[in-house]
Amino acid sequence: MGAATPESVVTTARAGAILVVTVNNPPVNALGVAVRQGLAAAMAQAQADSAVAGVLLVGAGKAFIAGADIREFGKPAMPPSLPEVCRSIEDCTKPVVAVLHGAALGGGLEVALSAHYRIALPAAKLGLPEVSLGLLPGSGGTQRAPRLMGARAATELMLSGKHLSAKAALAAGLVDQLAEGDDAQAAGLAYLNALLAQNAPVRRTRDIAIPDPAAALAELEVLKADTAKKTRGLFSPLKIIECVQAAVQLPFDEGMARERALFLECLDSPQRAGLIHAFFAEREVVKIPEAKAAAPRAFATIAIIGGGTMGAGITVSALDAGYPVTMVERDAASIARGRANVEKVYTGLVAKGRMTEEAKAAVMARYTGSTSYDDLANVDLVIEAVFEELDVKKAVFKELDRVCKPGAVLATNTSYLDIDAIAAVTSRPQDVIGLHFFSPANIMKLLEIVVPAKVGADVVATAFELAKKLKKVPVRAGVCDGFIGNRILAVYKQAADYIMEDGASPYEIDEAVRGFGFAMGPFQVTDLAGGDIGWATRKRRAATRDPKARYVEVADRICERGWFGQKTGRGFYLYPEGARLGQPDPEVLAIVDAERAKKGVTPRQFTADGIMRRYMAAMANEGANVVHEGIALRPLDVDVTFMSGYGFPRFRGGPMKWADMYGLPRLLADIEEFAKEDALFWKPSPLLVKLVQEGRNFDSLNQLA
Ligand code: 3HC
Ligand code: NAI
């Protein structure tokens, strides 16, 4: 396919006295430079041709227009700008109608708001989601939407980034009419012909006055205070409110100038770069070699082995996606508990009024509990979630090998164990794969798809298909201790322990990590997950730990007292009467002090910046190792893992994107500086060293050959 030209992506055709202007820029009709040029030319044509009485704007394919071309952001701007194009639409002296079907988002909706009338098909989705890209609507959306739907409703739409249905958009005043059916052009022509027959006037959104400006400004002040609290550290939400304040207070053109200035500030912000990286990375992760090599196997029934925390969560996820699920447990008591674990989730939804008893009964009707593997003879896909012990898992897989039909996919939810070893006990290693869900499995988005040596490409493709059906974000990972996420977590958690022993309190560390944008710090996470889990892992690894490696014993001292975190009322924090937010515990600080004294460490001061330099260096360096060893396909896979599964702030785009923005030479210099204290722990990743030598960044590895 050749490069897009204005003529190829915007076509014009006459239907009587109407000029039909069609945007045809697959996949989503994004407003790249050629589309903007094409639209500007079409509007000039409509204006100049006296035989044209009205203009219809329509999108070809599945959308009206999904917005500006996100790939152009951060590159030199090319004329005409989108605000100029919108202006030329609004200025037209002949009625312009936009007919909306599919996505009418961001700049796409702004084009529609510049038209004089709007009609929407039933499946249209309207929104101004720029905030999720670190931006604000920059082509008049902040000025025109408040004029059509009121200042407060428009601001809420822009702050939420949500899509409105056609019906909701009609109720909000964003569109004038709803159409039937799915033929956008026919609906648009009928509407415009009717308008022309009535001599309907040109009706410019910019000429509409916002009612009761004083009340609108007061409402915006309330939204501002609320937003400042909720979106701590985010740049564009408050700028959106400033734009709407300008819409209320200033003449239209001055409001537009204000919007432009603030849009450019957002465009320049690192948050925009991080969020747009996140947008594309989430779409790139599914592009894996196996998907090109093979088609997924068909699957209609799912079995889960184990009904504990994870087995129940995965069952709920599969039931929610509409699958029948058979759960197998060890004995009658265990399966009763497994069923109860599943039912509890739906009972909670009913109690909150988010589900009816009938809907719950209908979902639970697709659930079957069993204590016999023989019930799995016809199942298409099995996910094992039993205890994290290799021998137990091997025994389960021998059973699965015995009973399952040929071609069934056999998956394990193991967190750390060697999946090649599990596959090896079966006669069909080509069917065995890792599906590593995160807790709570019915809520967390991340699904690591762990690819052992002998698995078939079609099984990997099936796992990605399953992720899609369960609405998960899949990331392809190789087999190693902890795969992508938990392997990297182990390293930065260790860095946090060192910082603690060297002088910062766990509370200072958690605060610095939250200040960076994580929802929780590492010690809060330990308390939430249960300190006993990490303790068990540390004991298991004690025998193989390098005796020369630094080992911080604070967490062991805490666990020895039975303080396992929230569930026991205390851990690193105190949780009086089941409180969810912990309070600092002087006794924990005393334990930390005692450990420092035992090791002869003189505590030193750490700033939040000093804490984060070490924490992030450890994370990004191990991320580089994971890419270097092929455990992750690309740096972006590490980024998506952390954003979807570990609470990494999305506006920073993930640890590898963070590293690129921090600068790899600077990151390497930090690691070399830290290595002077502990060369065993702080070893620069060979990939980091290589990239610095070659003057490249992680992003340069994100394009798969
Ligand atoms: N620019 C460039 N590419 C885009 C794009 C955009 N605005 N929107 C989607 N794409 C690309 C995707 O990257 C993907 O490419 P790929 O196939 O190479 O991976 C392809 O289009 C299809 O996208 P999805 O996989 O997301 O398809 P879905 O059907 O699941 O979703 C959608 C469609 C709802 C339109 C979704 O793509 C979406 O939300 N897009 C972004 C919408 C948006 O944020 N618009 C605002 C842009 S900013 C703006 O307009 C600024 C203005 O105010 C000045
Ligand atoms: P759990 O202890 O809550 O549940 C395990 C269940 O397996 C129990 O109900 C037990 O009765 C059942 N079981 C044991 N042997 C069995 C057998 N032979 N046949 C049938 N059922 C059997 O454990 P959890 O937390 O659900 O973990 C399960 C697996 O998921 C482990 O491999 C764990 O590493 C992994 N995992 C755990 C996460 C977590 O946050 N808890 C996160 C991601 C993975």
Catalytic annotation on 629?
no
Say whether pLDDT at 181 is over 70. yes
Ligand 2 geometric centre to CA of 161 (Å): 38
Ligand 1 geometric centre to CA of 108 (Å): 11
3.40.1190.20, 3.90.1570.10, 3.90.226.10, 3.40.462.40: CATH of 6-267: 3.90.226.10
Q: Which of 7, 84, 110, 622 is catalytic?
A: 110
578-607 pLDDT tens trace: 677 899 999 999 999 999 999 999 999 999
Q: Cite the DSSP H helix spans in 75-140.
A: 82-91, 107-114
Tell me how far apart the alpha carbons of residues 381 and 229 are, in angstroms, rounded to a whole number.
45
Q: Which of 72, 84, 90, 130 is catalytic?
A: 130
3-state secondary structure of 479: coil
Buried b (16+ CB within 10 A) or exposed e, 52-68: bbbbbbbbbeebbbbbb
Catalytic annotation on 384?
no
463-493 pLDDT tens trace: 999 999 999 999 999 999 999 999 999 999 9
Peptide bond into 440 cis (omega under 30): yes
Average pLDDT, the chain: 96
Ligand nearest to the Cα of 236, by number: 1
373-432 pLDDT tens trace: 999 999 999 999 999 999 999 999 999 999 999 999 999 999 989 999 999 999 999 999
pTM of the model: 0.95
3-38 pLDDT tens trace: 889 999 999 999 999 999 999 999 999 999 999 999
Domain 486-546+601-701 has CATH 1.10.1040.50: yes
- Give pLDDT, residue 533: 83
Say whether pLDDT at 90 is over 80. yes
**CATH superfamily ID and name for 299-482:** NAD(P)-binding Rossmann-like Domain (3.40.50.720)
607-630 pLDDT tens trace: 999 999 999 999 999 999 999 999
- Domain borders along the chain are 6-267, 299-482, 486-546+601-701
Q: How confident is the model at residue 335 (pLDDT cuts 50, 70, 90)?
A: very high
Q: How confident is the model at residue 194 (pLDDT cuts 50, 70, 90)?
A: very high
- Give pLDDT, residue 705: 54
Say whether pLDDT at 304 is over 60. yes
Q: Which residue of 1, 70, 73 sits with most ligand 1 atoms within 8 Å of its CB, as the best mutation to test the pocket?
A: 70
What is the DSSP annotation of 170-220?
HHHTS-SEE--SS-HHHHHHHHHHHHHHTTPPP--GGGPPPS-HHHHHHHH
For ligand 1, whether the C-beta of 236 sits within 6 Å is no
- Give pLDDT, residue 577: 84
Say whether pLDDT at 74 is over 90. no
Angle at CA 636, nearest 5°, toward 634 and 638? 85
Tell me how far apart the alpha carbons of residues 654 and 275 are, in angstroms, rounded to a whole number.
9
- Give pLDDT, residue 50: 97
Pick the range with the lowest mean pLDDT from 154-168, 171-185, 568-582. 568-582
